[in-house]
Structure 1
Amino acid sequence: MTTPDRRLALKANAPGGGHARNKAAEMEQENRHLIHLTKVGAVDAAYRIDAGLWESGRWLAVRWIEGVPLWRALALARGPEGNRPSVHPWLLGIARTWAQRLDALHAAGWAHADVQPTNTLVDSDEVHLIDYALACGPNETGRLPYRGALTHTTAPEVADAILSTSDDTHIHVQPPADIWGLGASLFWCWTGRRPVAYEDEEDRMAKHQAIAQGHTIPLGDARPWPFPAFETLITACLAPDPDRRPAAAEVAAVLTEAGQ
């Protein structure tokens, strides 16, 4: 959507669309999250524009973010032709700015809780995060129960919680799960393979069972070409134990130093 002075992304629920989740309630929740995250400086104040009701539910308007989803952005890097001197710092720059965005959330006590390629837009070598509907923050009340997001980037501890709790139990996602999502997304979009081995036709619970075991495909078996610095980063982010994953600030600092 374009107005005389800016471009907007307009979200609105689609009544009768057949979605299991309550999209109107999710949009209302995302609006609350954006208001709070803007106040604490974790999200750019220019991102949220307005929100309200329409005859069939709710709408939310946010600033249009330039960029392409991570999968499309890394298309060149997935082949051997991606092994170029110019591509190496570009990949590290994507990971660095992504970690910086997450660090702003984590420093405010929040987790994005839906870190995945579709919610990650790449503009040149800079990453922008979108879609805060499922974010988890401190002292939240009246929220929809979090029961996972995209299966392929779900952290082992979240997968285990989904398997071991009832469908109406809220799972409070912590920042290390975002770091897993970062590593899983980079693994997937660079190698073309999801980090945990399971068949597409398996049901969601079976996939969560595989993820909860914490075993990932060896990166050396999946990478399109060797890049030790990038491989070390991804491997660290995919540590099965959340306490052994680096914090977003640590990831950003290491990659800033590597780019100097």
Structure 2
Amino acid sequence: MSDRRGSRAWKVTGPGGAVAVKANSPDADTAHAKAAEMAQEDDHLLHLTEAGALTPGYRVGAGAWDGGRWLAVNWVDGVPAWRAFTLARGPEGDRPSVRPWLLGIARTWAERLALMHAAGWAHADVQPTNTLIINDGRAELIDYALACHPDHAPLVPYRGAITHTTAPEIAEALLTTPDDTHVTATPAADVWGLGASLFWCWTGHRPVAYEDDAQREDKLRAIAKSATIPLDSVRPWPFPEFEDFITACLQADPAARPSAEALASC
């Protein structure tokens, strides 16, 4: 399915169903780091399953091979959030059937995060690519490699994930600590990432303005200022309830953001 950033992924189908298999690219410059990340994700899946944040059957297997590490998980039959929102991003998305569908995605996305947060974990990589939308409008999380727990020592220091959905406080921490220092992501940062992802997928704009070709440090500095683009200036059509959901997630103060549990039930 993909071969980028030092890792490869396949969909494998057999008598028992379909699984997603990931492995590091053995000849990539990042082979060692990606193998460690793969081992870390497997460790996270075991802990999250034990804590009840994941269904026991999600993790299928993992191990070593000649070129590094591999990991297999149950196949989630959905489409990435960005692609799922295609209709909603245009004016034709303003229809009665789309509104409850969008709210259902937002609430189930928050629900999946709430399960992790209740167990003391943060996903730490909340973004459109790591969330798949099922046909009935449910969101499912994938890719737990960067998940964080305050009492769980990482194999690979967390230095943020995709820049565009990075919470302001995480951006500030990344800018003010050495590159090899672990920064622990929090549930509140996940909530900001949820709001940023919904903002991005619905409007087609990232929530913080910066040039596409800007250096990552410059993008992080812009995010750390907590100045988001006014949602009503870029929304494709008015939807007050959905806009309120997104705006609540994007509060600059982490303490002012609602919990994922509260968002799931709103």
Shorter-chain TM band: over 0.9
Contact kept, 8 Å, 2:40 with 2:154, in 1: the verdict is no
CA contact (8 A) 2:122 2:187 kept: yes
The structure with the largest strand share of the pair is 2
Contact 2:123 2:146 in 1 (8 A): yes
> Pairwise mapping of residues 112-123 of structure 1 onto structure 2 (< 5 A)?
112-123=123-134
Partner secondary structure for residue 77 of structure 1: coil
Is residue 153 of structure 2 the alignment partner of residue 151 of structure 1? Answer: no
1:187 and 1:246 map into 2 onto residues whose CA distance is: 16
Moved more, 64-73 or 11-20: 11-20
Aligned residue number for residue 28 of structure 1: 39
Q: Give the match for residue 9 of structure 2.
A: none
Deviates more, 1:14-23 or 1:48-57: 14-23
TM-score by length of 1: 0.96
**Would you identify which runs of 4 or more consecutive aligned residues in structure 1 move more than 6 Å?**
none
Equivalent residue number for residue 4 of structure 2: none
Q: Do the aligned residues in 1 keep the contact of 2:25 with 2:31 (CA within 8 Å)?
A: no
Q: How big is the shift at 1:16?
A: 2.1
Shift of 1:18: 3.5
Q: Are 1:216 and 2:209 counterparts?
A: no
| 1:142 Cα deviation after fit | 4.7
- Aligned partners of 2:133 and 2:140 also within 8 Å: yes
2:92 aligned with 1:75, yes or no? no
- Quote the residue 1:257 is aligned against: none
Letter of the 1:145 counterpart: P
Within-5 A mapping of 1:1-260: 1-19=12-30, 22-124=33-135, 125-254=137-266
CA offset digits 1:212-247 (Å, max 9, x no partner): 000000000010000000000100100011000000
Q: Evaluate the alpha carbon distance shift between residue 149 and residue 31 of structure 1 in structure 2; reply closer, same or farther with a 3 A threshold.
A: same
Root-mean-square deviation over aligned CA pairs: 1.0
Q: Secondary structure at the match of 1:236?
A: helix
Q: What is the number of equivalent residue pairs in this alignment?
A: 254
Letter in 2 for 1:154: T
Aligned identity (percent) is 63
Question: What is the SS of the residue equivalent to 2:13?
Answer: coil
Distance 1:21 1:204, change over 3 A: farther
> After superposition, what is the alpha-carbon deviation per residue over 1:110-144, rounded to whole angstroms, capped at 9, x for unaligned?
00000000000000210100000000013212521
How big is each residue's C-alpha offset from its partner over 1:67-88, in whole Å with a ceiling of 9 and x where there is no partner? 0000000000000000000000
* Structure 2, unpaired ranges of 5+: 1-11
- 1:176 and 1:145 mapped to 2: Cα distance? 19
Q: 1:116 to 1:20 in 2, by over 3 A?
A: farther
Partner of residue 258, structure 1: none
Deviation per CA, 1:148-173: give whole Å up to 9, x if none. Answer: 00000000000000000000110011
SS in 2 for 1:76: coil
Going from structure 1 to structure 2, the CA distance change for 1:229 and 1:44 (only over 3 Å counts) comes to same
Unmatched segments (≥5 aa) in structure 1: 255-260
